[in-house]
Amino acid sequence: MLSPLLFFALLFFYAAQGLQFNHIEEDTEFVNADSKYGSLWPLPQKVNFSSVSFKLSGSTFRIVDAKESSAGASCAVLQNAYRRYFDYIFDGAKKQWAGKRTRSGASELGELQVWITSPDSECDAYPSVSTDESYELIVDQPVAVLKAPKVWGALHGLETFSQLVYKDEFGSRNINATTISDFPRFAHRGILLDTSRHFLPIKVILANLETMAMNKINVFHWHIVDDPSFPYLSKTFPQLSQKGAYHPYTHVYTPADVKMIIEFARLRGIRVIPEFDTPGHTLSWGGGQPDLLTPCYSGSSPSGTFGPVNPILNTTYDFMTQFFKEISSVFPDAYVHLGGDEVDFTCWKSNPDIQAFMKQQGFGDDFTKLESFYIQRLLDIVGQTNKGYMIWQEVFDNGVKLKPDTIIHVWKGNQQQYQNEMAQITSAGYHTLLSTPWYLNYISYGQDWHNHYKADPQDFQGTDKQKELVIGGEACLWGEYIDATNLTPRLWPRASAVAERLWSAKDVKDLNDAYSRLSLHRCRMVERGIPAEPLFTGFCPHEYKGI
């Protein structure tokens, strides 16, 4: 329970910050109430506050490795994070970080000691679906201590620590004595960004990776290519982007760009899972790889247009073998997303060679069997690279034989339909993740974030064993109407609602409490330079300055 002293201290803090949320229209679901958890987002599993507070000074406070820690000064993941969060806490006071340290006063907190408790800190590793992201944080004198089995949990603990720091009426930074024990509810908490329909500059991707870390999102699902453009610059097949990108030099991701994005993400505990969707959504592939796409026919003559990948040619599978061999070496994550959704059969139906192949194989007029034929061979190819794969739900729906470790991505239907789909997938023994209720490219006037907040990936009819097969979910931001000008405000803080649903305990559902914390969290993101859109009327102490 929160003590009365701390409750009024928090109220005083909010008033000092100038945060006002007292004008809320009658048709909203929220009331004017401050959360006892302040601005913590996503809400940790267990939080205990004390009314005792300590000051923090940029000239005395340090984030350091605990003597017992298995990670030392050579751990780039932690050393980068220490500097990053010091800057966040002290508004970018880099000179103070490098300056001479003076002795802290009796009421000051002088250190945050970070203790990696496992012999293998994973400092040089990449996060994975089985990563331990738990941590414990104790803020007290003489020092605060952050314990985590692996560096990934420590990163989340540093974010939580930074969220506990607040300014008093004189501008001094303070933090209350606090004990937190925390871990994510789901292992896979992702955001999909689409870089084909509109090219996203590197700095926009990096800024959103930074924001993902602020929200404890741990997967960047990179939908890197699609029908409109092929911006991935392949070493093996450079003609794909040469012919398929919007511009072969200014609108491509070079090998160095990809490497930088992967490392930037790793330093923030974020996995990068690329998606190369086939056999549909591949029109941009055709210019750089002759005979890859199916020629469409008008009557008995070619129409000059092309459809999905041609599944009847051996050259198709020779190409895919070489291409995914490269992809498996460029992207270190254990999984690659292979798509498999929305295949339009019209072109296949028009092609006489495809028709003859269908007859030879005994497929009749069922083109889902032809799609399955292609997908099955592709999965075998990718399986030989020792990668696991994720696929959209249509592949499962069409009865393709899948490896036991396949992750099936649900995106279709209304609530009842996707709940039935989740039940069917888990009943078959496969792992799954949900995106259907979290298509953030769909917007509406007003506070649509609470609909995202209410959705739960385990909300379907099934056994406990089935629900354990749900590894999480992803918020998707498809790029038809999104580029660098509007991506970030459309994504945040709406994606933050998804982040809490996937991190916090299942019973964390209070919309009033969430509104209070999310409003403050949104202002924190704005203060850190992120143009997160407002939830409702009001203002932030540090408004977004723009460019």
Burial letters for 281-299: b for 16+ Cβ neighbours within 10 Å, e otherwise?
bbbbbbbbbeebbbbbbee
Q: 3-state DSSP: the chain helix, strand, coil percent, rounded to 5?
A: 35, 20, 45
DSSP category for residue 437: G
Buried b (16+ CB within 10 A) or exposed e, 496-534: bbbbbbbbbeeebeebebbbbbbbbbbbbbbebebbbbb
Phi, psi of 449 (to 5 degrees): -60, -30
Using CA atoms, how far apart are residues 306 and 89, in angstroms rounded to an integer?
Answer: 55
The Cα–Cα gap between 202 and 484 comes to 10
Helix (H, G, I), strand (E, B) or coil at 116: strand
- The secondary structure of 341-390, three-state, reads CCCCCHHHHHCHHHHHHHHHHCCCCCHHHHHHHHHHHHHHHHHCCCCEEE
In whole angstroms, give the CA distance from residue 132 to residue 273. Answer: 19
Per DSSP bridges, beta strands 271-275 and 219-223 are: parallel
In sequence order, the 6+-apart residues with CB closer than 8 A to the CB of 125 are none
86 in helix, strand or coil?
helix
- CA–CA separation, 284 and 301 (whole Å): 23
User: CB neighbours of 302 closer than 8 A, spacing ≥ 6?
Assistant: 295, 296
DSSP per-residue codes, 255-315: HHHHHHHHHHHHTTT-EEEEE---SSS-GGGTTTSTT-EEEEEETTEEEEEEEEE-TT-HH
Nearest to 534 by CA among 452, 433, 462, 446: 446
Residues designated as active site: 342
Instruction: Tell me whether the omega of the peptide bond preceding residue 274 falls within 30 degrees of 0, making it cis.
Output: no
Could you tell me if 80 and 74 are in contact, meaning their C-beta atoms sit under 8 angstroms apart?
A: no
Distance (Å, rounded) from C-alpha 165 to C-alpha 39? 10
Distance between terminal CA atoms of the chain?
Answer: 43
